[in-house]
Amino acid sequence: MVRKNELMKLFLGSFSYLPVPINISFWWNWGSMAGVTLVMQILTGLFLTMHYVSDSSLAFDSVVHIDRDVNYGWVSRSVHSNGASLFLLCIFMHIGRGLYYKSYLNFHTWGVGILLLLVSMLTAFFGYVLPWGQMSFWGATVITNFLSVIPYYGVDIVNWIWGGYSVGGPTLTRFYTFHFLFPFVIVVLSLLHLIFLHRTGSSNPIQLSSIPMKMYFWPYSGIKDILGFLLVFVFFFFIVFFYPTVFMDPENFMKANPMVTPVHIKPEWYFLFAYAILRCIPNKTLGVLALVVSILFLYIVPLLNFFLNKGFYKGISFSYQVVFWIFSVNFILLTWLGGSPVEEPYIFLAQVCSFIYFLSLCLMGVLV
């Protein structure tokens, strides 16, 4: 009776009875982990919405109210703020697995995934502004100013986003609105990502056709995913309960003050790799262009593979693996350099790492 229900058939067909390769490893857990984290973010975000006030004179105090006066408000805020880091970590790991095993050759699935990354980073940026602390205010000022490099209309676009001639109350209201709405856009894109994935099927570590070697998602892969959830969430809630502010900047515990600029302005850790690429280029316009291209370049990898290798070749050579691990270590170095002072030798190192970043992505598209 239950299985004849249309909604149940849709659910069971998408999860329980979904055919998956028998040899997928724990690296395939990161996609489902991102989905679970997204649900957690939406639920905690809805709770925080009940108490947050998107007014420039009250926003900071409303966050303090959530932390101090609301029952378990500090838990919800800690889960939500640290959950953003977990969600972006899951996406980075998911994309890394896709690069290593050449899952990007399923171009539609890969394309929607990169779009998901862009929207997620934008949503996280909007959320970073909402506490209206010093780093929130000045981070919003610096990041939105990048749009001024757009020819002719750049300054007008910046002023339109600000709702005036500087970051203020209208900016906060707009960012709060977008931060509330964008997670539902992420849900729609996630469903589209799953539709393309289920149409082509999951890849597998040996990159061979898995049509004759598939089994139902439940129980084998489902239980493996649950084990991955437990391991990651034990570590995550250890941070939530014992080190809830470990990823927060000390400057953000002070209310936004337009008259006092922080000594060192830097975004959250998941923006630092792109921020390092931006800062190491002396020309502002070229720096902003490189920042945007650092994400969009992920679209180039499958196209290079298709046009230069005359087809979708899915083998993984030793040279490809070497380039991938160079790219991975270089990505970590760029993240570290993005949080370092803007002085030598960090600027030179960032320039070298930026070159390696783009070169390694090109090589991954060329090598077979």
Q: Hey, what are 261's tokens?
A: 């600029």
Q: Which of 65, 198, 214, 255 is catalytic?
A: 198
Beta bridge partners of residue 215, listed in sequence order: 20
**Catalytic-residue membership of 344:** no
Gap between the Cα atoms of 307 and 78, Å rounded: 46
Q: Hey, what are 226's tokens?
A: 């649950």
Q: Which of 62, 249, 268, 360 is catalytic?
A: 268
**Catalytic-residue membership of 148:** no
Residue 133, classed as helix, strand or coil, is strand
Gap between the Cα atoms of 282 and 65, Å rounded: 42
Q: Which of 202, 210, 221, 294 is catalytic?
A: 202
**Catalytic-residue membership of 65:** no
By the 8 A CB rule, do 98 and 84 touch? no
Which residues contribute to the annotated binding site for heme b?
A: 80, 94, 179, 193
By the 8 A CB rule, do 324 and 100 touch? yes
Residue 191 sits at the vertex; the CA angle it makes with 189 and 195, to the nearest 5 degrees, is 115
Q: Which of 214, 224, 255, 314 is catalytic?
A: 224
Question: b or e along 194-209 (b: 16 or more beta carbons within 10 Å of the residue's beta carbon)?
Answer: bebbeeebbbbeeeee
CA-based nearest residue to 133, from 48, 212, 245: 245
Q: What is the largest CA-CA distance in the chain?
A: 69
**Catalytic-residue membership of 214:** no
Q: Hey, what are 1's tokens?
A: 């009776």
The sign of the torsion formed by the CA atoms of 238, 91, 213, 316 equals negative
Q: Are strands 19-21 and 214-216 parallel, antiparallel or unpaired?
A: antiparallel
Gap between the Cα atoms of 275 and 290, Å rounded: 10
Q: Which of 210, 225, 249, 360 is catalytic?
A: 225
DSSP string computed for 18-65 = -EEETT--GGGHHHHHHHHHHHHHHHHHHHHHTT----TTTHHHHHHH
Which residues contribute to the annotated binding site for a ubiquinone?
A: 198
**Catalytic-residue membership of 268:** yes
Residue 217 sits at the vertex; the CA angle it makes with 211 and 218, to the nearest 5 degrees, is 145
* Residues designated catalytic: 198, 202, 224-225, 268
